[in-house]
Amino acid sequence: MAVNAIETAGPGADSGGQPGLAAARDQVRQNLSASVGEDGAVRSPCASRTLETALLLVLLRRRGGHRAREEELAAFLATPGAQAGGFDTALALAVLHGRSIGTDVVGGELLAGFDHFSLTRKRLLFDVHLAVTGAVPFEESILRPVRTKSRSGDNTVTWIEMIMLSVRVLVAHGLGMAAQITDRERERLLELLGSSRAPVWENYTAAHLLALLAVQEFAPAHPLLEAGVGAVPACRNSDGGVPPMPNLDVFSTGPAALAGVEPALLHRMCDYLTGQQMPDGGWAFGESMRHSDVDASSYAAACLAAVDPERYREALLRAGRYFRASWAPTAGSPPTCPVTRRRPA
């Protein structure tokens, strides 16, 4: 499809003559087009979130010497937007006022009705987030949550391995059972933490902070810890909070092109996307990441196919092989596909 045909048959195509629709479409196109950089990327920051902001505040307090940053993080957590739900409120009140909770905000809110093979892991992770911030005490049952069902088939990629290692260290130290952590586990956690090309590990702020909190327990002077702590404040938003992902540029570019930017920008955006295609044929959420993501890949491939399937034929063929390799007949496509050796989580 040629670029001059995009207006009528591709991204941003008009769907009818409803009053005001053309004006709204033009406004969207103008705003999206203004966000496209010289390299074709749409650099749209991710909104701040309570979880990552609270975890960073806990970490800075434990390390000391960051009073001004601590006050800025606390100011964000004190805003109504940072306490919109039961889980966020529990985190914020715990780090701001030392309050604990007596209700199950995870089972009753976050995971209510959630039916997925990752349920047990997510339950464990949310419980540990609450415990690290002081909203609930560390308990041995955290490692074997009685409120969840055991599931099999979890997609064990590198980021899950690092999270689960971090959780194991944090729970062991929280229970006063640090001797249960082996030297090999500590070495592996440090190895994983140092493996990312991005300043914030794989652009995954919560995993990055959990690993830093875990390393703080057994190696507070390690160089990786100092560098990792400095990377998170550098990506804070203007409201003082911390985003869950510092870089969503790859993910944002595909939907923006499909939504309807100026046609003259489309090839620039698609060229950026082809430059970000992973070795396995997929795309990650952001730059400097190692794991392809099915959602990000779907938008990127759809963008290339809509704009110029001939020009981007090779990239689309590689994407097709990625999707076929990702698909599981019994479960559909997993959110992420590993590019490193699988390990049990």
The per-residue DSSP string of 164-178 comes to: HHHHHHHHHHHTT-G
The gap between the terminal CA atoms of the chain, to the nearest Å, is 45
- HSE of 258 in the Cβ direction (CA atoms, 13 Å)? 16
User: How many other CB atoms sit within 10 Å of the CB of residue 171?
Assistant: 23
Cα separation of 124 and 112, whole Å? 14
- The H or E element that residue 54 is part of is helix 50-63
Closest CA to 301 of 329, 330, 287, 280: 280
If you search the block for the tokens 């944002």, which residue do you land on? 252
Closest CA to 191 of 222, 167, 168: 222
Structure tokens at 128: 């540990």
Contact 166, 129 (CB under 8 A): no
Tens digit of pLDDT per residue, the chain (345 long)? Answer: 444 433 433 565 555 557 788 888 889 899 999 999 999 999 988 999 999 999 999 999 999 999 999 999 999 999 999 999 999 999 999 999 999 998 888 887 777 877 777 778 888 899 999 999 999 999 887 765 433 334 444 445 788 899 999 999 999 999 999 999 999 999 999 999 999 988 999 999 999 999 999 999 999 999 999 999 999 999 999 999 999 999 999 999 999 999 989 999 999 999 999 999 999 999 999 999 988 999 999 999 999 999 999 999 999 999 999 999 987 654 444 555 433 322 223
Counting every residue written for the chain, the total comes to 345
